[in-house]
Amino acid sequence: MFVAWFEANRQYVGGRDLTYAEFPTRFTYEKKDKQWQPRKLGYQIGRLHYTPIGIWELYYMRILLTVELYYMRILLTVKKGCMRYRCIKTINGHTYGTFQEARSALGLLDDDREFIDGITEIGELGSGHQLCWLFVHLLTTRTMTSLDIVWDAAWQLLSDDILFERRKRLNILDMRIGGDDLKNMCLIEIEMLPNAADMPTFTNRLIIDELNFNKVELEKTHADILLMLTDEQRCVHDKIMESVGSDDNGFFYLYGYGGTGKTFIWKRLSVAVRSKGLIVLNAASNGIAALLLPGGRTAHSTPTVPFEINEALSLTMEKDSPRADLMHAAKLIIWDEAPMMHRWCFEAVDRSLRDIMSKNDPLNALKPFGGTTIVLGGDFRQILSVVRGGMRPDIVDASVNSSKIWAYCNVLRLTVNMRLGASSVPAEQEEIANFCKWIVSIGDGNDASGDNGEMKVEIPEDSLISDTTNPLMSLIDFVYPDLNDNLGDQLFFQERGILAPTLDSVEHVNEFMMSLIPGEEKEYLTSDSIFEIGLKLKVGCPVMLMRNIDQANGLCNGTRLTVTHLGKSTIAATGQSLSRVGVIFLSPCSRMDNFMPLSLE
């Protein structure tokens, strides 16, 4: 295909202002003749296959090949009108020996210099511990090519805290530690960071983390909480706690529409179990829901449900691994927003728990979820599992209540909308009640008409924007009143968001909102996407994390952050989540795909 692209560029002037990925917009590829011909009709977009940077464990020649392919792919996102291979490596009239050199010459980020600069830059802002965290992040994302060069240049900054901590702890202010010892201590600290739980240690840190609560304080909180529960909530609470305290396992589904207090119950159950010194694992099917749970994580990270699932899947967990030991020790597993996940995920957890729990008692292999008490929750009216190309029956089939394990499920219900009690103003209460009734009736399909899965829904006048001259500004004024006065307020952005149906609208809203935020805009070019425009950010602008980076610290897909620093090679942001305000996340700029700006959900 490349040869044909070079040939077409030689032959036709009309494609020389296009990158390789843009070429299909004006040309079509004739498979038979292996030639690009000017397009007569229609419009198509092109796509460059993803090429990983390489895996260090692979032998040398293979690394070279993958690394070069990776850099060539990056150059192809910007080079236009190439007529031969060496044109791709030619920058400002000079032909470089390798694609990697050409790419560095072009000023695109992502060579190892960037990481050294980034660590040095952030060294002025963050602590040594935070730098170690950043280094581990670079390691686990396999972004660096010459690990030893980055380590040699950065280890002193990374070990900055260690000497200070030792001096403080031992009260020896002039204590000295030799270079090699300091390096080793720093490596030990790095080893203790993410995934440390999977490394052999004398104690299982995962279990220690889950037991790291003040039992006495929790006991007191639990007593207060019990007084707050409504009758039906108390009934749910007691049934589940009864199961936690007995040998008979329980598999429950807590069903209730929005606002009936499911999250409220999760929090109370967590306190109840932890106040007894027992382990509860809180998982949710997405990052946002996970943030609402105490110590919550996404299901993909807690019981390690892999992202690629299939019917026969079991969890990739050795019976004697620390994760398996944690699952074994857990007395209760809470899994929120269950309807969003494919039934195969629950079936996989069921199989794995039967396997893990049969270690002590073979009879557990016969019990659902190996005898562990598990509570799923969520509203089937909300988002269901996404089945690619699937029709209604496929989606229904993917649902947890279509699974064979559903036969063992004890369905509990919450029916009273507790959100209505949030306001003490009667007029507001009535307004909320009407809105809730309307939303529920849409979920039940009562107010809708139409065939083929398409429905017409009438939206009440007061929920619409009537300003037709500048509707976006009206929307922003409504959702983010006094935007500029609230920019420093961590919670302001946590409580609101604008939903948009397409990525185009998202971009449009973002661009407009960014223009309203004062300060200098900084643009970061992406080094691994075909988009021409990179990410534009300003200090103070809210962003949403698009990856699970450090779930234990609440840095997971969906976490909202505020940008605090825009460096040449790094971006820092603080967490907006109530319990996690103050966490600083440091990102290497070349991984722009970690972030998405502003008001998106």
Nearer to ligand ATP, 379 or 528 (CB): 379
Element (H, E) at 587: strand 584-588
If the CB atoms of residues 186 and 254 are measured against ligand ATP, the closer one turns out to be: 254
* Cβ distance to ligand ATP smaller for residue 228 or 386: 228
Task: Find the Cα–Cα–Cα–Cα dihedral 75, 79, 81, 86, rounded to 10°.
Answer: -50
Contact 128, 193 (CB under 8 A): no
The number of residues making up the chain comes to 601
Write b or e for each residue in 523-544: b if 16 or more Cβ atoms lie within 10 A of its Cβ, otherwise e.
ebbbbbbbeeebbebbbebbbb
Task: Name which of 329 and 418 has its Cβ closer to ligand ATP.
Answer: 418
Q: Which is nearer to ligand ATP, 39 or 419 (CB)?
A: 419
User: CA–CA separation, 316 vs 368, rounded Å?
Assistant: 19
Q: Dig out the tokens for 341 from the structure.
A: 């996940």
Distance CA 89, CA 104 (A): 11
Nearest to 303 by CA among 348, 362, 240, 253: 348
Largest CA-CA distance found in the chain, in angstroms, rounded: 81
Residues 6 or more apart whose CB falls under 8 angstroms from that of 199 comprise: 191
Nearer to ligand ATP, 308 or 495 (CB): 495
Closer by beta carbon to ligand ATP, 91 or else 236: 236
**Measuring CA to CA, how many Å separate 560 from each of 287, 490, 494, 498, 506?**
10, 9, 7, 13, 16
CB of 228 to ligand ATP, least distance (A): 5
Closest CA to 318 of 360, 283, 350, 352: 352
CB of 578 to ligand ATP, least distance (A): 13
Cβ–Cβ contacts within 10 Å for residue 268, how many? Answer: 24
Nearest approach in angstroms of CB 580 to ligand ATP is 19
3-state helix/strand/coil string of 373-427: EEEEEECCCCCCCCCCCCCHHHHHHHCHHHCHHHHHCEEEECCCCHHHHHCCCHH
Q: How far apart are CA 272 and CA 579, in angstroms?
A: 19
Least Å distance, CB 311 to ligand ATP, is 29
**Within 13 Å of residue 236, how many CA atoms lie on the same side as its CB?**
28
Least distance CB 433 / ligand ATP (angstroms): 14
Q: Give the nearer residue to ligand ATP in terms of CB position, either 383 or 422.
A: 422
Buried b / exposed e across 497-518, counting CB within 10 Å, b at 16+? bbebeeeeebeebbeebbeebe
Q: Residue 31 is encoded by which pair of tokens? A: 């498979």
Give residues in contact with ligand ATP (CB under 6 A): 228-230, 233, 256, 258-264, 379, 418-419, 422
Q: At its nearest, how many Å lie between ligand ATP and the CB of residue 258?
A: 3
Of residues 108 and 240, the one with the C-beta less far from ligand ATP = 240
State which residue, 341 or 357, has the beta carbon closest to ligand ATP: 341
| Choice between 52 and 421, CB closer to ligand ATP | 421
In angstroms, give the least distance from the CB of 347 to ligand ATP: 24
How far apart CA 287 and CA 307 sit, in angstroms, is 14
Q: How far is the CB of 412 from ligand ATP (least distance, A)?
A: 12
Query: How near is the Cβ of 439 to ligand ATP at its closest, in Å?
Result: 10
Q: How far is the CB of 382 from ligand ATP (least distance, A)?
A: 7
Give the shortest CB-601-to-ligand ATP separation in angstroms: 14
In whole angstroms, the minimum distance from the beta carbon of 437 to ligand ATP comes to 15
Residue number of the CB atom closest to ligand ATP:
258
For tokens 């893990």, the residue is: 356
CB of 379: closest distance to ligand ATP in angstroms?
Answer: 5
* C-beta of 188 vs 578, nearer to ligand ATP: 578
Nearer to ligand ATP, 6 or 253 (CB): 253
Nearest-approach distance from CB 264 to ligand ATP, in angstroms: 4
The number of angstroms, rounded, from the C-alpha of 351 to the middle of its chain's C-alpha atoms is 26
Instruction: Show Cβ contacts of residue 168 under 8 Å, excluding neighbours closer than 6 positions.
Output: none
Which helix (H) or strand (E) covers residue 437, if one does?
helix 426-443
Residues 6+ apart with CB under 8 A from 598: 509, 510, 513, 514, 541, 542, 543, 544
Determine the Cα–Cα distance for residues 20 and 530; give it in Å rounded to an integer. 10
233 vs 587, which CB is nearer to ligand ATP? 233
